[in-house]
Amino acid sequence: MTWTERDLAAYRNFPYAPPHYPGAPYRARLPQPPYDGAEEWKCSVYYYWWEYLRRNEEYRETCRLDGEGKHPVLYRWFGNVHGGDFHDWWWSRYHLFTFRSEAINIARNGKGYLESEGVFLHVGYARSKSEMIASAREQIMKISQKEITDELRRTIRFKPAARPVLRSLHQHLLAWDARLEHPNADDADICDIADLDVSLPYSLEEIASLRADGLKVTDLEKANRRAKQLTVQRHLRIATQYIDNVVLGEFPKRDRR
C-alpha cells in the first residue's frame, strides 16, 4: 500500500497495536501473537474486534438488510463486516480507533501548532541538541493533562474496553466456532477438535505408563476430560459475552469469567 503522512501519523496513535502492514510505523512494544505463525496483520485487538462482530447473528442480519436490522447505528460506523475481507474493512474504518487529523483543526498557539494528532513545534537549528530538546520539553509540559485526556476522549470513537490478550481472544473464538460446527459433541471432544490450550491434571505419558503397569487409569482419564470440559465451558461463557457486547460498541467486554 501507499502510506500518506496522515495515515502514518494516525497509525502512531492507536491505544493498542493496530494490524501491522509493511511500512507501518514501528511500535516499541509489539503484542504477543494470538498463535504461532500468525500473520502480522492478525496480531491486533482490532482484527479480533472485526472477527467477533462477524459472529453476532443480529449484526449479521443487519448487514444482510444493508443496515436496516437491529443495529442501524453501529452499522453506520462499522458497515458490512461480511461484505469483504478484513483488509478492505480495515482501511475504510481504521479511523474509528485512532486519532486522524483534519487540516481545519490546526490552530496557532504560541510557539507551536495544536491539532488532533499532537503538537507541532518549530525548533531552530541555531542551538545545541540539548537546548533544542529542552525547548521542546518546555512547550510540551505546558499542555495540561486535562487537555490531553479531553482530546483523547473526543477523537477516539471506539477504544478497547480492556487490555487485550490476543491468545485468549483467539482461543475463545476457536471454542465458539468448534461448538457451532459440532453442536452435538461433548465439551471434552470440542477441546480436542479446536486444539485448545488446556492444563490437564495428568499427562498422557503418565497415564500410558500406569496402564502399561497394569493399573487402572479410568479416574485419571475422567479427571482429564473434566478439565477439558471446564476449559471449553469457560471459553464459551467469555466468547458469548464478547459477542453480545461487541454490538454495543464495546470490546473485549465481559462481566464474569
Distances (CA, A) of 111 to 46, 123, 149: 36, 9, 22
Q: Over the stretch 21-68, which tens digit does the pLDDT of each residue have?
A: 998 887 767 799 999 999 999 999 999 999 999 999 999 999 999 999
Q: How far apart are CA 82 and CA 95, in angstroms?
A: 19
Q: How far apart are CA 169 and CA 48, in angstroms?
A: 7
List of the chain residues with pLDDT < 70? 1, 28, 100-127, 150-155
**Burial (CB count <10 Å: 0-12, 13-18, 19+), residue 235:** buried
End-to-end alpha-carbon separation of the chain, Å?
40
